[in-house]
Structure 1
Amino acid sequence: MSKLYLTLLLCISFCSVFKTGDRKHLFIGLDSTMSAGVRGPTNLFGHPTDQLLAQIDSQLSQWDSEKGKPITKISFGHFPLSFSALSHSQKSLKNVFLKHSISAYLCGHLHTRFGKNLKRHHQSNENFLSSHEFFQLNMHQKPSESARNCSSQAPPLKEFWEWEMGDWRKSRAMRIMAVDRGHVSYLGIDFKSGTKKTFVLPTFPLDSRFMLTSSFHQMYECQHMVPFSFETIRCIVFSISPIMSVVARIYDTRPGSPHLIMETTMTKFVRDVSRGDIYAAAWNYKAFEDPSPDRFWLQIEVTDAMGRSTLSELRPFSVNGPSAKISWTWKEFFVMG
């Protein structure tokens, strides 16, 4: 694993670029609160200005111009997009994010009052009915049916995830996000349910419920993915105790109930950083190609020196791109749909 380099840039509210090997990671923070005025109820919504949107657009355009250089773009701000007003010229943060195909927008504000499953997949598609501009019933928007374009000059597919992060102050909730060779994933942690000695975040294969479906599918079908990024199962482990073993298990649900079809020991990467350890295991990813997004499920077990066992969430995965549906509760739909 390569060293991590950080470059700070002058932009909007906060902007930084990390470099790992030949890939860059751009993080843009934004502040859409009103510059002056009373507090509630006007602070219930974010008010991005045309100037702010122009600055974000300009900053992202700078990195879009570097063709052939892989970059992952993440933005973060306080307000969910459903709580962000249009600018004076009727422009929105959502349109800017779609234009530049960021991977994810991280937000807060709602403090888990409406649930801990506040996520929404946004995608631009000219064939959608106008109602999709205002609401969607499923957390994961229906993927585009447009023809595959594998040209190196083809424009990127316009989609991104919005992830509400909960809050630490009252809910004691947090998320750990990982960017693994361009693949973005996260782990939700709830300390109100008790403290844990070990956390495990699978970083590949991606959870088929929360990945960028159209982009991932095109990348796989057009063979634009970096081969070695598919050739191993990977995870990050955080623990207060030395780790003795990490085992990955894959289950097949086709017969109706999950049955174990693969079990393999994962090996630790030797790195020169102290936060979290990366484990990997080789596998034949092509053996898991399937039109169903939730036929195969992954779970990772970590055992520490005290003999304590920690299991990751059993989750579906898809190596070739189909997405598994996941629905909101009515409260979640009310604020995110």
Structure 2
Amino acid sequence: MRYKINAGLFVLFVLFISVCISNLANFLGTDRQIAQRLQETSENNLEWKDRRKKLEIGNGTDHLMWFVQISDIHISIWRDKKRQSDLRDFTGETLDVIKPPVVVASGDLTDAWSTNYLGSQQFKREWEIYKSILEENQVGKKTIWMDIRGNHDTFNVPSLDSDLNFFTKYSIQGDKHKRSYMKQITVGKDKYSFIAIDACQNPGTKRAFNFVGILDVNQTNAIIDLAEASRKSGADYIVWFGHYPTSSILSPGTGNRGIRGVLGHYDEGYVYLSGHLHTLGGLAKNMYALQDTNFFELELADWKDNRMFRVAAFDHGLFSFIDIKHKDWPIILVTNPKDSMLNIEKKEDPSLQVKSTHIRILLFDPEEIISCKVQIDDEQFKDCHNITKNLYVREWQPDRYKKGQHRINVVVTTADGRRKSISQQFALDNTNRGFPTIAKMILKTNLTHIFQAMFGFALAACILPICILRTWHELAYARKVKKPNLHRSYFRRMIRKLWILSTVDRILYPYLFSILYVLIGPWSIGHIIDGHMGIIFSWGMFVKGHFLPGTLSYLYGYFQLMFCSFPLVFIYAQVVWDRYNILLVPEKQRPKTIWSRTFEYLPFCTVLLTEIVLAGFFWSIYGPLSAFLGPLRTWSMVLHCALFYWAKTLPKYTLKSAMTVLE
């Protein structure tokens, strides 16, 4: 008796498995400890609010501090040696001009890519170059250089104690802090805590699935411990920083809000600084967002290709920043009135700007500043005067600008004749003009959830149409529904081809199995880390006794399904349709030419070539064993070739059911 598939139950089963697997990582990490700890520390928020200083903004230098961030340096021994010379200039002249008490270097200090862009490993020479540049310019004597690891810094690193973890030997902070840590500075009467969040995978696998950060319960507790220590020390402000944006961090055990819930819990924590995403190929050069848990998240464009860095400041409790391209002098940062994009009422005193007596501007340039002029809206430009070398002020009447958005323009001239102007909006009624939509979408979502959704969509696209047609066919064959008319339009003829394919069990079931296999795996077995075998699934990897939840693997699975499996169902449908016509009306068949045979095989050969390239990708990264023990890659090519051959040589009896319904 012929086995009949129940499409509805099959789809429900697949979706159920998909949901279970996609949430496996969070299930494994579920722990109420984080929520309980945060609840216990809620009273400390009130203590901080009570002791927060009541400040007045005038022309003084008290309560003013600035610092610098740089990210994604990517020191490489293979390409773009100018990164090194520019970094040497940055740690020399630039820091000498700005004189920040703290520099935050938020990950990907080295490149760790082989010369062919396929392999990934730690190159000792890259780390030696990084360290030598910092030592050459005596960075440790100029500032507190706070570096932290990025995913490139952990490629192919078996453990924190491994000899390949060069961060511990060649970075500034690595010998004292293997993971997250805190540094505090006191400027004037204010104390600032800088808390580094290391969310790198441990162990660190090779590319390409080492992309999203992971904070387990222990690491999250360590971050809370640092924040609590900051509070006990009486710190006025917390600056969080790490390599990964929060949208790229898995944090099992922290609930739906993830690490954002932890960072937002601390009222003194104003901002989280990150890198990692560069500029997304130029699509999002300014990735800033105000998270729902009430802190700013600011991703910084990379040093690698764009030579960007950030100057940020706290001025009487107001946080502001500007992102600068290397050597784009002078640097102009207006701290009062601050950019309305950065208004955050629950942390900052909304009356500070309204009651202030002076416009305040920070200026940095290697040459002497000759003039600084300021204009509000369409009023006349007025001269500012300097309080210190870097602080310029101008008296103003903020009552005139209490409502709505206004614009401040600043023009600066230097001794060597350079002239630069900036313009930004401000709002004294504490309204926030908002951040770019693309930036908010990237930073406020969860990239892993997006990848999972794309993967689920691809699964549905590959399975649902063919299963629905099979169910429809069974009902029509049993005369429970009317036979369809699938002859007229192009769309109906395409459905007709898919319909016929859905009736051929020897093609349908192996195809559906191949789709289901992408979901449940394993995809491949290979050297995920040199010297250490691992298993790759869509939902995660097992290596060295550790489970690393799936992240970028879902995106890879999406491309596998949409660019290989999905086209194949239409290719098989066309081949089965041709076979159907040959068997049904052989007298109408014409001899095939070379061109007709070429176009007959070209689509399948294109997909097969794509799979060969992807198999080569696994081979080059995880070794030849991963190709031989690669059901998703190598074995799937064998299956698809077999299905293509079977479709070309179908016997007539396999098409009898379709002929009964459609003819």
Deviation, structure 1 residue 190: 3.2
After superposition, give the CA deviation of every residue in 1:137-180 in whole Å (9 maximum; x if it has no partner): xxxxxxxxxxxxxxxxxxxxxx1000001110122222211222
2:392 corresponds in structure 1 to: 279
Deviation, structure 1 residue 333: 2.5
Percent of matched pairs sharing the same residue: 20
- Contact 2:343/2:431 (<8 A) preserved: no
C-alpha distance in structure 1 between counterparts of 2:354 and 2:286, whole Å? 32
Supply the AA of the counterpart residue of 1:311.
S
Supply the AA of the counterpart residue of 1:115.
A
TM-score (norm 2): 0.38
1:333 corresponds in structure 2 to: 441
SS, match of residue 184 in structure 1: strand
SS, match of residue 341 in structure 2: coil
Equivalent residues in 2 for 1:253-332, closer than 5 Å: 260-261=378-379, 263-270=381-388, 277-290=390-403, 292=404, 294=405, 296-312=406-422, 314-329=423-438
Supply the AA of the counterpart residue of 2:363.
V
2:314 corresponds in structure 1 to: 179
After superposition, give the CA deviation of every residue in 1:198-232 in whole Å (9 maximum; x if it has no partner): 2211111110012324434xx23xx5x4998x221
Which residue among 297, 304, 311 is the counterpart of 1:162?
297
C-alpha distance in structure 1 between counterparts of 2:361 and 2:402, whole Å? 21
- Contact 2:291/2:444 (<8 A) preserved: no
- Contact 1:75/1:105 (<8 A) preserved: yes
Which residue among 66, 79, 84 is the counterpart of 2:249?
84
TM-score (norm 1): 0.72
Equivalent residues in 2 for 1:56-135, closer than 5 Å: 56-64=223-231, 71-88=236-253, 90=255, 92-101=258-267, 102-113=269-280, 114-124=283-293
C-alpha distance in structure 2 between counterparts of 1:285 and 1:162, whole Å? 28
C-alpha distance in structure 2 between counterparts of 1:318 and 1:79, whole Å? 31
Deviation, structure 1 residue 70: 6.9
2:362 corresponds in structure 1 to: 236
Equivalent residues in 2 for 1:130-149, closer than 5 Å: none
1:152 corresponds in structure 2 to: none
Larger radius of gyration: 2
After superposition, give the CA deviation of every residue in 1:24-68 in whole Å (9 maximum; x if it has no partner): 2111111111110422333211101212211221222233457xx
SS, match of residue 215 in structure 1: coil
1:49 corresponds in structure 2 to: 216
- Contact 1:214/1:321 (<8 A) preserved: no
C-alpha distance in structure 1 between counterparts of 2:291 and 2:328, whole Å? 33
SS, match of residue 321 in structure 1: coil
1:24 corresponds in structure 2 to: 191
C-alpha distance in structure 2 between counterparts of 1:35 and 1:323, whole Å? 39
Distance 1:205 1:226, change over 3 A: closer
C-alpha distance in structure 2 between counterparts of 1:17 and 1:250, whole Å? 37
Distance 1:167 1:99, change over 3 A: same
Find out whether 1:35 has 2:202 as its counterpart.
yes
The structure that is helix-richer by fraction is: 2
Distance 1:70 1:232, change over 3 A: farther
Distance 1:202 1:226, change over 3 A: closer
Deviation, structure 1 residue 327: 3.0
Deviation, structure 1 residue 332: 6.6
Supply the AA of the counterpart residue of 2:322.
L
RMSD between aligned residues: 2.9
After superposition, give the CA deviation of every residue in 1:3-40 in whole Å (9 maximum; x if it has no partner): 98899998763322122222221111111111104223
C-alpha distance in structure 1 between counterparts of 2:310 and 2:204, whole Å? 32
How many residue pairs align between the two structures?
Answer: 274
- Contact 2:408/2:425 (<8 A) preserved: yes
Distance 1:262 1:28, change over 3 A: farther
C-alpha distance in structure 2 between counterparts of 1:80 and 1:309, whole Å? 35
Find out whether 1:199 has 2:331 as its counterpart.
yes
Supply the AA of the counterpart residue of 1:24.
K
Supply the AA of the counterpart residue of 1:333.
M
Deviation, structure 1 residue 261: 2.6
Report 1 or 2 for greater relative contact order, CA contacts < 8 Å, sequence distance ≥ 6: 1
SS, match of residue 328 in structure 2: coil
C-alpha distance in structure 1 between counterparts of 2:213 and 2:436, whole Å? 26
Unaligned runs of at least 5 residues, structure 2: 1-60, 66-100, 103-143, 147-172, 446-663
- Contact 1:117/1:328 (<8 A) preserved: no
SS, match of residue 123 in structure 1: coil
